[in-house]
Amino acid sequence: MNKTNKTFYIDTLGCAKNDYDSQVLAALLMQRGCTLTEAPEAADILIVNTCGFIESAKIESIEHIFSMASLKGKTKKLVVTGCLSERYHEDLVNEIPEVDIFTGVNDYDELPDLLLSDNKVMADSVKGRVGKVLPYKERVLPGKSYSGVLKIAEGCNNTCAFCAIPKIRGPFRSKKIEDAVKEAEVMAEQGIKELTIIAQDTSYYGKDLYGEAMLPELLRRLCRIHEIKWIRLLYVYDDGITDELIETIAANDKICNYLDIPIQHIADNVLSRMKRKSTGASIRETFRKLRANIPDVHIRTTMLVGFPGESEDDFKELMEFVKEARIDRLGVFAFSDEEGTLSYTMDDKLPEDVKETRRDSIMELQLSISEELNQAKLGKTYEVMIDEIHDGSYIGRTKYDAQEIDNEVSFVSERLHELGDIVNVKITEAYEYDLVGEEV
């Protein structure tokens, strides 16, 4: 294996899955003798890990590519990888000649050899092969990490009309249980206290390898890792929330009573056009079962408004559902028309101003609901994990909040704490999205 003393910098955009991929790539390069730097000006190799999911993400990725290109000079190599590079490889090669190497989301194993070769310009993609199993990979976690993601699968077998992810990341392929547990154990040894479980469709985990959903069994195994205090589930689809999964969450204190369930809509007309597996009735029943069986469960979801063919009645039904469901954490997006998806070919598309008005209407409604739910927390005491420290004041999150996504809790304490410490905080003030308290 050829080694080098080159330095590299990674600019990561998009979701937690991209953060994970960048950590894997960093480990691969460091195994070859490279040094990771936080200063792009000091790097021999500049890497932009892009997002290409929706239009705004594509624009941001391109801006970052040109920003890195301005630093390149004659001696640095510029690499573009990730979803945008996978999805628009040929266009990018033609339009951004400053880039030396374009690779996709399945090419990380091959990238070190390309980067460390003597060739100056290789504007091409590796086009790596997609295996049937997501292999175990070493990663480089940021220094002093206490919260980290565990990616248990890659790709997706769903055919949602608005989504390009299956074309970008390929079919669903799970990581073996023993590999996922091993990775979590290594993370725990490195100081991780909070484990966030991710995949494109987390509840589908194991069906491709074992013939049945194995998320409950994986969770039970992860709960045995002593150093892990919180386990959080993201991207759990409604049709995969089984009685066994609910029972597993309820029976294990380490698993946060928090589920991220991207429902997208509630009107059957829209769900059908979206090619979703859920119905309005199945979503309502899932919410009911979760709240009946998991104490104080907090549900996070995302909704997509303005999908082609969404009528005024469909939207009114969604608004009524938001009122009745009183969702704890809610994100709303206006439909983005993405080429290469089924929805791109659909008729009955809505004007941009209608989509934005509908999005804003739901978020305005949710603002008052969120404040009411937070007001109900006044006087109660919660465990809070510390994320920020400011001269004796602290900002953190409860078990019901994902890092950098959900609500925050600020408090002042005379005690000295470190990042990642879990303390008991009594809530004294409550606002739309944030809480204020005092340590007890």
Give me the pLDDT at residue 124, please: 54
Give me the pLDDT at residue 418, please: 94
160 belongs to an annotated ligand binding site: yes
Strand intervals (E) in 306-343 = 329-334
- Mean per-residue pLDDT, 163-179: 90
**Alpha-carbon span 60 to 123, nearest angstrom:** 21
**Alpha-carbon span 133 to 205, nearest angstrom:** 11
256 belongs to an annotated ligand binding site: no
> In the chain, what are the domains?
5-114 (3.40.50.12160), 145-374 (3.80.30.20), 378-437 (2.40.50.140)
Span of 40-49, 98-107, 128-137, 289-298 with lowest mean pLDDT: 128-137
Task: Give the model confidence (pLDDT) of 235-292 as tens digits.
Answer: 999 999 999 999 999 999 999 999 999 999 999 999 999 999 999 999 999 999 999 9
223 belongs to an annotated ligand binding site: no
Contact 58, 42 (CB under 8 A): no
15 belongs to an annotated ligand binding site: yes
CB atoms within 10 A of CB 121: 12
34 belongs to an annotated ligand binding site: no
Q: Is 434 helix (H, G, I), strand (E, B) or coil?
A: strand
Give me the pLDDT at residue 3, please: 66
CB atoms within 10 A of CB 302: 15
User: Angle CA(410)–CA(416)–CA(422) in degrees, nearest 5?
Assistant: 55
Give me the pLDDT at residue 325, please: 97
Task: Give the model confidence (pLDDT) of 357-393 as tens digits.
Answer: 999 999 999 999 999 999 999 999 999 999 999 987 9
**Alpha-carbon span 325 to 76, nearest angstrom:** 53
CB neighbour list of residue 410: distance below 8 Å, 6 or more residues apart: 393, 394, 395, 434, 435, 436, 437
